Structure 1
Amino acid sequence: MANFRFIAPPLPHYIVGGEDTYEIGQVHPNRSSISVFDMVIVTKGALFFQEEDRQWSVKPGEALILHPDRRHFAYHPCTATTHFYWIHFQSTGEWTEVSEIVPDMNKRTKQLYQRIEEFPIHLPRFCSFTSPASAYEKLKTLLQLEGNPSTDSKWRQQAVFQSLLFDMNEKQKQQASPIERLAEAVETYLRQNYRNRVCYDDFRNRLHFHPTYITRCMKQIYGCTPLEYLTRYRVEQSKLLLVNTDMSIYTIAQEVGFSTSTYYIRCFVKIETVTPKHYRQRFRNIKAAASKEVVHPE
């Protein structure tokens, strides 16, 4: 099941949209590398798209997102009067095309300390809306706002667009495999309970699956066991406390769920290659150096 995976922030942003009607025999233009995502939502009739060796027949209530860097064209003319909406959108952040929902395990470390937590958004390349009427209303609102250049309208336009993407993301989750859904449930449980003692019996009692099966699902989707995920998440949370508080290493270890500070330090070094103390000091040195910089007016 192909989908686009965006790392947010930043969120994908709306650029421009419109609507069109094709009569019998008309075809969608042949386009190549338009540098933006092209989303098409059909309300009546059908459109027939091909992108490289893949073909889609998009019918009422269905949406297709075309790759921004590939050629797409109609492999068949319209066989009935066809009405559709189109949206061009883009993201200035990281994105890729993947074959399954893979939650984000690896934090990007371009900065020593990143205050905003990044998260993945999965949008299906092709899907049907659970409530087409609701989707059509949002599309109409987007186009109504198109003619208003005010800041408020532009802001509202992005909000409506995000709501449309959220609906598509929810549809993607409904289409996820049982393995993906179970792995996501384990992830949610771990993030909610990382401060507490967690063991495999908790998974059995909470999720009603054998721990061996749960571990196999986590390895397939996340590439690690539940407890390996938990350790990494605890370390990520501890980094926030290291750079944002004056808590002792011992207190931080307890705060994020480690049994002892010694074990916490060992896990931290394994993941970050430095001790928590050195990580904290490195951040403070950078912060102190930045505060000494003086900007001289010209």
Structure 2
Amino acid sequence: MIEQENQPYITFNSKYLVTGLQERKALLVQSFCKDSKSQNLLFTDRAFEIGLVPHYKSESQHHPGIEYIHGFLELVIVIKGKAFLKIDKNEYNIQKGDIFFHNNNTKFSYHFKERTLQTLHVPFLPRILYRNVVLSSDNRNLLQFQSLEPFIRDDRLFRYKIHLDGEIFDRILSLAFSLVDIFNRAEYRVKQREILYRSFEVLLRTIILEYEKLYPEYRPRHNFIKVIIDYISRNLTEKINLDSLAAITGLTKQYISSAFKEKLKISIIDYINNEKIQYACNLLDSTDKSIYEIMSQSGFNSVSNFIFCFKKHMNTTPGRYRNKSWKK
């Protein structure tokens, strides 16, 4: 499959051009650098301009696992070998046929179970996926989410790694090595970038389709904001926080907060509190229950917090609201 490993350039299936060992080292120096403060691995200015750096790696067990934290997203395909992938404090087995994603700002390292591990990597920036699309900020955010959901999942069980073999894995490998080949031949020529980007989109789309086949529950989560809104409306009497929303969506709390505010122009905490206050208003209008009872039934755990949120959203206290409502 991989020929001429020690030559300046090697090939995959005698067709696609792949960098050899020395050229890979030069490519890494040209494309990646460490942030002086955080020590995170970042794109150099040259790599940042193009937005992705697909490359093949063949690593030896004689080089112990080095911990990385990326400032970009990365697709990884295991071509040959077995290893442990350590993400933060958790370890997962990976082997030939595995395809997975590295989120940015997550610490990881590889620890070898065999002599060598051959992998193909596509580190990239999200902006290249919607570079030519003219959208509102809301729709742009939704498009980014739909394209990149596998990367931003907070899945501690590593459940969304997929394992493929046979014809479909061979097809994905061909698409991936074709991408590397285009990158190596075109280098940083501006005229070739659109071909490079389109090739990556085909590869990513093919992989995500396999995700959807293996994990049917993956598809509905594209509309995660609707899932969150429905959950909030059904659980107004309960305590709702970002932890519970992360649990039902499989997404990080940080992503939920930023994407929700980008889409609805309100923070998710303010949205939850507003819905709870509207529920409390209905109880104040239609029942003679005490303020304390209504506070509890609206999912608040302290009178002071309930009154604070009520005044913030209704510009009055619960007691004054009830008196005014009953006078009508």
* TM tier, smaller: 0.3 to 0.5
Larger Rg: 2
> What is the TM-score normalised by the length of structure 2?
0.41
Q: Please identify which structure carries the higher helix content.
A: 2
User: Which structure is richer in relative contact order (CA contacts within 8 A, separation 6 or more)?
Assistant: 1
